[in-house]
Amino acid sequence: MKILGRRKSGEGSEPQPTTEKKTAAVAEQLRQKGWYEFQLERSGQQCFIDPNQQPIGAGGAAEIIMGYIPTQQRWVAIKVPKSLIYPELYAEEIRLHLKALEATPDLVVEIVDFIINETTSKIAADHEKMVVMELLDPAWAPTLKQRITETHPAYSWSEPRPEPEPLTPIEVSQITGDLARFVITQYRQKNLIHRDLKPTNIYIIRDTNAQRTLTKVGDFGSASDAEVDDSDPLVGTINYLSPRQVLAAQAGYDTTQEPAPDAGLYDESWRVGVIAYEMLSGRVMFARANPQQEARAIHDFAYEDGLQIKDYPTLVKNLMKMNVKPEPVFEAFNRFMFLKHPEYHGDVTRFAKELELALTGQLEPEAADQSSVTSGD
Ligand SMILES: Nc1ncnc2c1ncn2[C@@H]1O[C@H](COP(=O)(O)OP(=O)(O)O)[C@@H](O)[C@H]1O
Ligand SMILES: [Mg+2]
C-alpha cells in the first residue's frame, strides 16, 4: 500500500538498513544510545524503544509509545496500559482485537507482534504481553477526531505533514459505510461489539493507490463477545451511548430483565449515526454541560425531537458549503435515529446507503443561492 505523506526510508535521521549487516549496525547504534531492547514473541526479532520519548497518544486506560524493528525497517506503536491492576483485562483486549482482525482485517488496526513477559517489566509492571501495532502516523493516518477538528499534534519524528483537508461528502459516505460494515460483520460473524466506537478510536488513512479513504478501528479495551451482552450499559463514553442504554441507566440496570435481543448491535449501530453527525457538523452530537444533560439530550432526541432543520443551523450551513441539499440528509438521520419516524430504525446498513445517496445527490442551483443561515447549534 502506497501512502501519501509517509516517510521514505533513508530520509531524515532515521536508521536505514538494507542488509543484514546494516540491520545489526543499526541495532548496535540504538543499543549505544540506551534504547531498550525487547524480543518479539511471534517473529523473534528485536524491537527497540527509546525510554526518554513522549507517548504519541493516550486514552483513559493506556499510553501509546513508539518502537523500531530494525529487521523490518519499521516503526511500530506499542500500547502500554497505565495500570496493571487488572492484567487479565488487557489480555482480554488483545484477544478481542485479534478476533476482530479475523472478521474484517481491512477495517481494524493491524497487530504486528507482541512484547513478551520478562522483558516488559522495564517499561511496565509484570504482566503477560503487550501489543505491538502498525504505527498510524497522524501525518497520513490521523484519528477521525484529529481529522474532524483538523488539529494535528506536532511530533518531532515526522516530516512536515500534508495540509489537513475537511472531510468531503464522499469521504463521510465511505467512512459511514465502512463503520456500518464493521459493526454488522463483527456482530454477525464474531458476536463482537466494540462498545466504544468514537472518533478517537477510529483512524482515517489516505491511500493513493486505492484513491479513497480507508477506515480502521482500534482500541478493543471495552469490547465484548459475550453470548448475551448483560454488561454495564455505561461502558463507553456518554455522548455515544444509545437511548436504550440511557433508559437502562435511568431504570437502574434491572438485572431481572432479559436484555433485548440484539441490544448490543442496536447500541453499536446508533453510534455510527452519532459519528456521522460529528463528521458533517464538526460537533459532538450530544455534547452538553454535564453527563446528566447529555443523557437527557440523547433521550429527548430519540423520543421527542429528532433532527429539525431549524435547530441545527451549523449542520445546514456546512452541508450547503459542501453543495449538499440538507433535507435528505436530515431525513436519513431521522429515519435511522428518531423513534417517531422509524422507517429503518437501527438498520445501520440502510442508514449508510441513505446517507450516501443524500450526500452525493447534487444540490439544485437555486437552493445553493439561499445559503444565508446563521450558526448556533
Ligand atoms: N497504532 C497507533 N498508531 C498511532 N497512534 C495510536 C495508535 N494506537 C493509538 N494511538 C493514539 O493513542 C490514543 C489512545 O489509544 P487507544 O488504543 O484508544 O487507548 P485507550 O484504550 O487508552 O483509549 C489514540 O486515540 C491515538 O491518538
Ligand atoms: Mg481509546
Ligand 1 atom with minimal separation from the 203 CA:
26
Can you tell me the mean pLDDT for 347-375? 73
Question: Looking at this protein, which amino acid is placed at residue 55?
Answer: P
Nearest CA owner, ligand 1 atom 26: 57
Domain range list for the chain: 20-135, 169-359
Can you tell me the mean pLDDT for 158-162? 52
Looking at all shown ligands, the one closest to residue 78's CA atom is 1
Q: How confident is the model at residue 10 (pLDDT cuts 50, 70, 90)?
A: very low
Regarding the beta carbon of 89 and ligand 1, being less than 6 Å apart is answered no
Residues 256-270: tens digit of each pLDDT: 666 677 888 999 999
pLDDT(227) > 90? no
CATH of domain 169-359: 1.10.510.10
From 33, 219, 34, select the one nearest 122 (Cα to Cα): 34
pLDDT for residue 4: 34
Residues 192-225: tens digit of each pLDDT: 999 999 999 999 997 777 678 899 999 999 999 9
Regarding the beta carbon of 65 and ligand 1, being less than 6 Å apart is answered no
Can you tell me the mean pLDDT for 324-347? 91
Helices (DSSP H) in the chain: which residue ranges?
Answer: 20-32, 87-103, 117-120, 144-149, 169-190, 243-250, 263-281, 291-300, 313-321, 326-337, 348-360, 365-369
Q: Ligand 2: distance of its center to the CA of 90 in Å?
A: 13
CATH topology assigned to domain 20-135: Phosphorylase Kinase; domain 1 (3.30.200)
Can you tell me the mean pLDDT for 79-95? 80
pLDDT for residue 8: 41
Looking at all shown ligands, the one closest to residue 197's CA atom is 2
Nearest CA owner, ligand 1 atom 4: 136
From 331, 317, 329, 327, select the one nearest 359 (Cα to Cα): 329
Cell of 95: 484477544
Q: How confident is the model at residue 285 (pLDDT cuts 50, 70, 90)?
A: very high
Nearest CA owner, ligand 1 atom 20: 59
Q: Are strands 202-207 and 212-217 parallel, antiparallel or unpaired?
A: antiparallel
Task: Determine the angle formed by the axes of helices 169-190 and 263-281, rounding to 10 degrees.
Answer: 170
* Residue 338 or residue 128, greater confidence: 338
Q: Ligand 1: distance of its center to the CA of 64 in Å?
A: 6
pLDDT for residue 269: 96
Give strand pairing partners of 324: 362
pLDDT(111) > 70? yes
